[in-house]
A = this chain, B = another copy of it.
Amino acid sequence: MPLESYQIAQYNQQHEVAHRRKFEFLAEELGSETTERILGKLIDFQIAIPSWALGTGGTRFGRFAGGGEPRNLEEKIADVGLLHALNRSSGAISLHIPWDIPTDGEAIKQLAASYGLVFDAMNSNTFQDQPNQELSYKFGSLQHTDAAVRTQAINHNIDVIRYGEALGSKSLTVWLSDGSSFPGQLNFRKAFQRTLEGLQEIYAALPADWKIFVEYKAFEPNFYSTTVGDWGQSFLYASKLGPKAYTLVDLGHHLPNANIEQIVSLLLMEEKLGGFHFNDSKYGDDDLTAGSIKPYQLFLIFNELVDGMDTRGMNHASDLGWMIDASHNVKDPLEDLLQSVEAIKLAYAQALLVDRLALEEARTNNDVAAAQELLQNAFRTDLRPLLAEARLRADAALNPVGLYRELSLRNKLIEARGLKAVATGL
């Protein structure tokens, strides 16, 4: 690892005075109880890093590689380890099969553990054809009219579960790109039924303590219909599958102007919210850095999460799956991921700051202006010193991007791996 713990300590020492001044001012404003309550939650909170986000992504028009990208699973784990050392909030990695097949599961597990990492949800891939794949997913996988293709896709998902078991993962995320690009192409009802049957077979293969997350997406790569197209459809599948099945919300997978926070709230109410893929977007599934376009929306989502989870007595750190799912086209992927984690935790901290009693009172009285003020008050408060303090207490860097740049870590990765190293993924 190109980063030693003494370097973090040294860096923090240099910046501690400035930090201390801000933190103490804020802590006095908030009061120590609130301060410690939020700090505790922030320290516990971990956001999984997907293995495919460590390299430069691309669009259908081109891909501009960055240099020093991880060339194999071991290097991907090392990169997540580096992120986790910097922020102590990225203690999990989410693998994608077949891009990251762990041929020796035990060794990989130990390697991850050496960085303090565990394995989050496993991800299957039935939206691409692999070089030696027998049957094509050109016309879908679980929805396919040909039973042999469906069986291939089901078996692939079961394989992914098996890989995950070896690594200690406890969940499978199924994102199906299945759908149609032209009116007439698909019998919607039959496609739904075939997909449901396929999911049922996969569900049957789940270990007792596993969950399955059914992800939905409004469009792309199919441009007319998607067979798991919105939260309503995902909810239908999850309800029919059983108690281990949940809906997964990717922030970029909605139609324009969708009220995502309300969807989140209702899924929590129905006990079917499984987890999140965080990113931000302006137009479609743009896969931009979390919080870079609509930070207030991110806060509003966390506002519903905190409220709904508390109402159900859920554990913030472990009862939902938290993952970034972004694509890094014009930034260093590691810097981008650090920025995403920071934005997510900031929104979480702001949501934890909301005065819920006062908010419910304002709601009861239909005092709309006061309800707005209560949310905006939390959002406008600068809570970055809390995040820094949480990192300091967890032995992470006060400013992860700052230290990453000061130590020229990207250059070190390029020296080690080369300028032309390209990670597997999109």
Contact = CB atoms under 8 A, between A and B. Distances in A.
A5 interface: no
A199 to B, nearest CB: 15
B230 A184 contact: no
B229 A232 contact: no
B311 A145 contact: no
Interface string A243-282: 0000000000011111101100110111000000000011
A182 B292 contact: yes
B268 A282 contact: no
Given A25-B25, A62-B128, A220-B59, A185 B371 contact: yes
B231 A129 contact: no
Given A60-B426, A64-B129, A224-B259, A219 B181 contact: no
A304 B192 CA distance: 14
A238 to B, nearest CB: 12
A183 B292 contact: yes
Contact of A339 (B259, B311, B369): B369
A308 B223 contact: no
Q: Which of A22, A58, A177, A382 has the largest number of chain B CB atoms within 10 A?
A: A382
Interface in A12-67: 22, 25, 29, 58-62, 64
A308 to B, nearest CB: 7
> Copies of this chain, how many?
4
A424 interface: no
A302 interface: no
A139 B62 CA distance: 12
Interface stretch (A96-104, A113-121, A161-169, A373-381): A373-381
B371 A182 contact: yes
A372 B187 contact: no
Nearest to A377: B384
Contacts of A381: 382
Interface in A359-389: 359-360, 362-366, 368-369, 371-376, 379-382, 384
Interface string A62-77: 1010000000000000
A401 B365 CA distance: 17
A366 B141 CA distance: 13
Interface stretch (A82-90, A152-160, A206-214, A324-332): A324-332
A251 to B, nearest CB: 13
17 contacts: A64-B138, A181-B329, A182-B371, A187-B307, A188-B266, A190-B363, A192-B266, A220-B283, A224-B259, A224-B293, A225-B262, A231-B232, A256-B257, A283-B284, A294-B296, A295-B376, A332-B369
Given A188-B266, A219-B283, A339-B372, 6 more contacts: A145-B364, A183-B296, A192-B269, A255-B255, A294-B297, A382-B382
Interface of A: 22, 25, 29, 58-62, 64, 127-129, 136-139, 145, 177, 180-190, 192-193, 218-221, 223-225, 229-233, 235-236, 254-259, 261-262, 265-266, 268-270, 281-284, 286-289, 291-297, 300, 303-304, 307-308, 311, 329-332, 335-336, 339, 343, 346, 359-360, 362-366, 368-369, 371-376, 379-382, 384, 401, 426
